[in-house]
Amino acid sequence: MKLAGKTIVVTGVSSGIGGESARLLRERGARVVGIDRNEPAISLDGFVKADLSTPQTIDAAVRELPARIDALANVAGVPGTAPAELVARVNYLGLRHLTQAALGRMPEGSSIVNVASILGAEWMARLEAHKALARAEGFEAGLDHLARNPVAQDSCYQYFKEALIVWTFTQSQPWFLRHGVRMNCVAPGPVMTPILGDFVTMLGPDRVSRDAHRIKRPALADEIAAVIAFLCSDDARWISGVNLPVDGGLASTYV
């Protein structure tokens, strides 16, 4: 993978997929700047401590980022056991705000990778609702839209991963044509990270039991990180607007 000399920003860098992504990217020669609300446990080339749930803290974090960003890996997220508004703020509105704020620092050939989820696979069932949210430009406009169209707590994680996939689809080509910046999603299935237990709680024992036979095991975080690194690299220079399942074949079992 062609990553040497690139400056890559990774959110959620202090654990799980974000931490493994940062480790692999640095191993392949990239300069990695991490963003997280917790201190990192790995070596980085720069770190910004930030809460990604408000536009003010995001804007402050962006002011500390390098003038040139060759790739942005949006890994940070909270599980569906968190309050629905926080899930909306971090997993969708904050991610979108950060990405839009960083875009001006990204030269032609840069890459954005958003971490979605296999749980966002039913985005087509709510396509028009997700497109309407995507059209609500800005963090506050998004909050206003959601106040008028509330999302239930028990489905909020799935809903905002669906919304992220749809936003990636609708926004990727305009940015690729206008700026030469690619944007894609990866959609992991279950992953062995510190919040795996939250997902088991969120889905409930019946759903977990029904799906257990569909996969060999949960993924390891480095197995997702390798795909993120590939999409950040020049080897993926003609891939844009894709949602790539990285789930050990789980998605295929629903056909």
Closest C-alpha to 193, from 20, 69, 41? 20
Q: What is the DSSP string of 160-213?
A: HHHHHHHHHHHHHHHHHHHH--EEEEEEE-SEESTTHHHHHHHH-HHHHHHHGG
DSSP state, residue 218: P
Q: Name the token pair of 155.
A: 């489905």
Q: How many CB atoms lie within 10 A of CB 6?
A: 22
- The yes-or-no answer on residue 159 being catalytic is no
What gap in Å lies between CA 9 and CA 233, rounded to an integer? Answer: 13
CA 161 distance to own-chain centroid: 9
For 108, counting Cβ atoms within 10 Å of its Cβ (0-12 exposed, 13-18 middle, 19+ buried), the class is: exposed
For 251, counting Cβ atoms within 10 Å of its Cβ (0-12 exposed, 13-18 middle, 19+ buried), the class is: middle
Closest C-alpha to 106, from 192, 178, 29? 178
CA 177 distance to own-chain centroid: 22
Q: Which residues of 118-145 are buried (b: 16+ CB within 10 A; e: fewer)?
A: bbbbebeebeebbeebbebeebeebbeb
Active site residues: 157
